[in-house]
Copies of this chain bind each other. A is one copy, B any other.
């Protein structure tokens, strides 16, 4: 049962989970739809059906819950990326697995939330950076590790001569993540269709390949 991306409505199986896990999953769903600041502890408690005393037993603050949500999102994203990379053959296709995964993730988000909500991690990174810098750095690091994951495949590709001369594998990985985040932004503000997100990522990868 994939936990990434979150869905707008609770998964039926969530009801049987321990309280802490239900708090994390419900909050992840609400953060994706509304953002960190718009979602209060009161609303999270109402959504999960717990008293505030129970909430604070698990999380001293909404910020602490946000850290757990970020870890939950990273875990779920990692499973999705692992599955797509396992199905890919060779380092180039393993880089492309991120684009294939993002296409699926954005399709699932649009189907569930009924609009372009953006990147669950990128949104949180942008929103948290000014108001909760430590939590912002926590989610920025998740995007950094995604970048490094693509960078490892790019180095593997470089070692067998698949990258164009002079291309830096880590810089290429940065361009892939930037193309993803930037095209998601353009889709969210309505400038371009969300179908362009994986296209931009594939083009960024193409840019680094030996012609």
Q: Of the candidates B126, B171, B190, which one forms a contact with A188 in the assembled complex, judged by CB atoms under 8 Å apart?
A: B126
Q: A182 an interface residue at 8 Å Cβ cutoff?
A: yes
Q: Of the candidates B147, B185, B189, B206, which one forms a contact with A191 in the assembled complex, judged by CB atoms under 8 Å apart?
A: B147
Identical subunits present:
2
Interchain CA distance A200-B171 in the complex, whole Å: 8
Interface string of A155-181 (1 = CB under 8 A from B): 000000000100000011011011111
Complex interface: chain B residues within 8 A of A199 (CB): 171
Q: A108 an interface residue at 8 Å Cβ cutoff?
A: no
Are the CB atoms of A143 and B178 closer together than 8 Å? no
Complex interface: chain B residues within 8 A of A126 (CB): 126, 185, 188-189
Complex interface: chain B residues within 8 A of A45 (CB): none
CB distance from A132 to the nearest CB of B (A): 12
Q: A186 an interface residue at 8 Å Cβ cutoff?
A: yes
Complex interface: chain B residues within 8 A of A139 (CB): 189
Chain A to chain B: the 3 pairs with minimum beta-carbon distance, closest first = A182-B182, A207-B207, A178-B182
Interchain CA distance A178-B202 in the complex, whole Å: 13
Q: A23 an interface residue at 8 Å Cβ cutoff?
A: no
Q: Of the candidates B137, B147, B178, B189, which one forms a contact with A190 in the assembled complex, judged by CB atoms under 8 Å apart?
A: B137
Interchain CA distance A86-B164 in the complex, whole Å: 32
Q: A192 an interface residue at 8 Å Cβ cutoff?
A: yes
Complex interface: chain B residues within 8 A of A192 (CB): 174
CB distance from A149 to the nearest CB of B (A): 13
Are the CB atoms of A177 and B186 closer together than 8 Å? yes
Are the CB atoms of A174 and B200 closer together than 8 Å? yes
Q: Of the candidates B177, B180, B206, which one forms a contact with A207 in the assembled complex, judged by CB atoms under 8 Å apart?
A: B206
